[in-house]
Amino acid sequence: MRTYHVAIVGATGAVGSEFLRLLETREFPLASLRLLASERSAGRTLPFRGHAIGVERLTTHSFRGVDIAFFSAGGARSREFAPAAVQAGALVIDNSSAFRMDPGVPLVIPEINPEDILHHRGIIANPNCSTILMLMAVAPLRRLAPIRRIVVSTYQAASGAGAQAMQELLDQTFDVLHDRPVTPRIFPYPIAFNLFSHNSSIDATGYNEEERKMIHEARKILHDPALRITATCVRVPVLRAHSESVNVEFAPGTRPTLEQAREALEAFPGVEVVDDREANHFPMPIEASGRHEVLVGRLRYDLSNEDAIDLFLSGDQVLKGAALNAVQIAEKWMHLVSV
């Protein structure tokens, strides 16, 4: 079996450390593993399969001999260093938003559009976390009937803003419980016992960047430029799983039955239906955290629109929303190029 030389850029971050754990546990066919990070983290060592691996400083020369480079160090670093990785012959799987809407860069959820992988020119982009989680629930339904419009409201965890933001949620909560003043550092507003509109920049349409990503990335992944989506993205005091309330409107007269929808979701890899009306048991972030599957439930006919279905989902933002999806892209690519 062929093995691969792999590099992780941003190995010490929230998503980077999840990359390590996934490569460790999935028996990824590694020939070697190189950990790259900014000067600040270089020199540290991280444990991997019983060994200690040193973290090297990221430079344009870091990618010699690398087959696959996972980037998860922000858009600026991806823009600066991904071209060097491609130049060196690596396949870049980029977790940032830097290249997602580039027409020459496939944007991939392996369960949904794996065939796009083959059109890469060195870079494959990993979609935004909220987009991935939404589409994992929407894609199976879309195989049943054409979807016309989606109205989505998110309940996004602190992890989407990184490990420091998760720590800020814990620290602020501690301060509130001890009646001490809260001083936001990562987020613009207190996150403990609070929630706020996603703190990304708002354009002339009034949509913030997270919402625009959900709209435009979904269209690209589904190859459906006419798909109508409105999104409201909200940060909530939860640690690492995002939830979403999704209203899915099908083409007039084509709405599937709830039974069909449920079967399609149950049969879809990476989705677990959690929908127990008797026990009032539905997707929750604490149950989605650490899970590879996106939990989907609250399936019901929309009483306000005979073509629509309502649902609610929770999925681990760091796993399927980031590191897991990227590793799955690599695995799918290995499979596609080996056959």
Give catalytic residue positions: 129, 242
**Which residue, 312 or 333, is less far from its own copies as judged by CB?**
312
Q: What are the residues whose beta carbons fall under 8 Å from the beta carbon of 214, sequence distance 6 or more?
A: 128, 130, 131, 134, 152, 229, 231, 233
- The least CB distance from residue 263 to its own copies, in Å, is 16
Between 115 and 203, whose beta carbon lies closer to its own copies? Answer: 203
Residue for token pair 């199976």: 140
Environment class of 286 (CB within 10 Å of its CB; exposed 0-12, middle 13-18, buried 19+): exposed
Angstrom distance (rounded) from CA 16 to CA 273:
28
What is the distance between the alpha carbons of residues 149 and 126, in angstroms, rounded to a whole number? 23
Task: Work out how close the CB of 181 gets to its own copies at its nearest, in angstroms, rounded to a whole number.
Answer: 13
CB of 97: closest distance to its own copies in angstroms? Answer: 18
195 vs 267, which CB is nearer to its own copies?
195
3-state helix, strand and coil shares in percent for the chain, rounded to the nearest 5: 35, 25, 40
> Which of residues 90 and 165 has its CB atom nearest to its own copies in the complex?
165
Least Å distance, CB 163 to its own copies, is: 16
Compare residues 222 and 258 and give the one whose CB is closer to its own copies: 258
Amino acid at 104: G
Q: Which residues bind its own copies (CB under 8 A)?
A: 149-151, 153, 155, 169-170, 173-174, 177, 188-190, 193-197, 199, 201-202, 205-208, 215, 228-230, 232, 234, 236-239, 243, 245, 247, 258, 277, 280, 282, 284-286, 297-305, 308, 310, 312
The least CB distance from residue 18 to its own copies, in Å, is 19
Query: How many angstroms from the chain centroid is the CA of residue 304?
Result: 31
For 72-177, strand residue ranges (E) read 91-94, 123-125, 147-155
CA distance to 76, 175, 186, 292, 300, per residue, from 96 (Å): 9, 32, 18, 20, 34
Q: How far is it, in rounded angstroms, from Cα 122 to Cα 90? A: 7
